[in-house]
Amino acid sequence: MKKILLFALIPFLMLSCRDTKKTKKEKAAGIAQQEIHKELYGFWVGDFYTTDELEYEGDMSDAVKKLNINIKKITKDTVIAQSVVSGNSRPLLGKISEDGGKITFILDEPGTDKYDGKFEITLVGDTLIGKWNAYKKELKWPGKEFKLLKKAFEYNASRMLPTEMEYVDWSDHKMVERLDTLEDGSIDSLGANTFYRSASEQIFKLNASTTVLKEEDVKNLRKLDLQIIKNTIFARHGYAFKKQTFRNFFDPVEWYVPVKNNVDNDLTAVENKNIKLLDRFTKYAEDNYDAFGR
């Protein structure tokens, strides 16, 4: 009878042991996954610039950009984040360390893109300060620095571009030769002037997120006006611009936070209607070229 009872208890003992092991594993997993420093979650935005910027005498259009690091989850063992710069969104994975109250991060991009690299970040007061180094050292700018402040992103249809900025497309220009007629009737070349695409004041007046535009509102606008008015819609939604022209316009804007690569599903009915109108007129619009000093 005792043997029968013992054999009957064996399955229960085995289940009990399994449950105990499972509970220990679950507890261990629970400890490993406990989130810390949730106050650091969110968007950290600021300039992303080359360390050689001041000494470089060439084209600086690619030297300074806007960087957004989105911290999503922090545990003792793992940090999950995302970097957004130049329209390129990359997942980040790394670790956090604390030493005497000093918090530092080491975050790695996957390495599957030629522009991937490693972020080394230190929290100083309310600012994330650090360096990024590309895995591929042959890049034009293999090292960058940054100072990022925490910034909340929210869509606001009323946001407009600041009027104190100069909206000139430095990436698109044409050369106009200067000629002089000499006394003998021959033509002498005096060189050439550089002219750049420029926007008019209408970009500060027309809001394609709040108002349904009419044909008379846009039919006389410059091509660059139409493009800026359209892309201001995308900027309000946090679109991360890939094209250098629009990064030059929007990166310096304080309210602009590059968040995602596609905002099509976020657009309102008013915005979709205006985009179709703007695209139709952009197709046939001409640009205005002016001479500017740099």
- The answer to whether residues 144 and 173 belong to one domain is no
Amino acid at 143: G
Q: 145: how many CB neighbours lie within 10 A of its CB?
A: 14
- The answer to whether residues 180 and 127 belong to one domain is no
Q: Is residue 155, in this structure, part of any structural domain at all? A: no
Q: What CATH number is attached to the domain comprising 44?
A: 2.40.128.120
Proportion of the chain above pLDDT 70, given as a percent? 77
Q: Which residues pair with 177 in a beta bridge?
A: 192
pLDDT reading at 291 higher than 50: yes
**Which domain, by its residues, includes 286?**
168-291
Structure-derived torsion over alpha carbons of residues 265, 270, 275, 278, reported in degrees to the nearest 10: -170
User: What pTM did the predictor assign?
Assistant: 0.80
Confidence band for 190, pLDDT divided at 50, 70 and 90: low
Structure-derived torsion over alpha carbons of residues 269, 271, 276, 278, reported in degrees to the nearest 10: 160
Q: Is residue 12, in this structure, part of any structural domain at all? A: no
Q: What is the pLDDT of residue 54?
A: 45
* Across 54-66, average pLDDT: 59
Give 27 or 132, the one with higher predicted confidence.
132
- The answer to whether residues 174 and 62 belong to one domain is no
Tokens 């599903």 belong to which residue? 265
Based on DSSP, count helices (H) and strands (E) in the chain, helices before strands: 5, 11
Q: Is residue 140, in this structure, part of any structural domain at all? A: yes
Contact status, residue 139 vs residue 61, Cβ threshold 8 Å: no
Q: Is residue 216, in this structure, part of any structural domain at all? A: yes
Q: What is the pLDDT of residue 209?
A: 98
Cα 94 to chain centroid, rounded? 20
Q: Determine whether 255 is exposed, middle or buried from the number of CB atoms within 10 Å of its CB (0-12, 13-18, 19+).
A: middle
Structure-derived torsion over alpha carbons of residues 48, 130, 141, 134, reported in degrees to the nearest 10: -120
Q: What is the pLDDT of residue 185?
A: 60
- The answer to whether residues 130 and 172 belong to one domain is no
pLDDT tens for each residue of 211-267: 999 999 999 999 999 999 999 999 999 999 999 999 999 999 999 999 999 999 999
Q: 268: how many CB neighbours lie within 10 A of its CB?
A: 14
Please give the mean pLDDT across all residues of the chain.
85
CA distance 215 to 153: 32
Give 115 or 62, the one with higher predicted confidence.
115
Q: Domain boundary at 150, 179, 194, which? A: 150
* Cα atoms found within 13 Å of the Cα of residue 246, Cβ hemisphere only: 23
- The answer to whether residues 175 and 129 belong to one domain is no
How many domains in the chain? 2
pLDDT tens for each residue of 1-22: 444 444 444 454 454 555 555 5
- The answer to whether residues 129 and 173 belong to one domain is no
Q: Domain boundary at 150, 185, 210, which? A: 150
Proportion of the chain above pLDDT 90, given as a percent? 68
Confidence band for 50, pLDDT divided at 50, 70 and 90: confident
pLDDT tens for each residue of 64-87: 799 999 999 999 999 999 999 999
* Cα atoms found within 13 Å of the Cα of residue 198, Cβ hemisphere only: 13
- The answer to whether residues 218 and 136 belong to one domain is no
Q: Is residue 22, in this structure, part of any structural domain at all? A: no
pLDDT tens for each residue of 255-271: 999 999 999 999 999 99
CA distance 165 to 5: 87
pLDDT tens for each residue of 144-187: 999 999 999 999 999 999 999 889 998 876 755 544 555 666 65
Q: What is the pLDDT of residue 9?
A: 47
- The answer to whether residues 139 and 228 belong to one domain is no
Q: Which residues pair with 131 in a beta bridge?
A: 120, 145
115 DSSP assignment: T
Give 32 or 150, the one with higher predicted confidence.
150
- The answer to whether residues 189 and 263 belong to one domain is yes
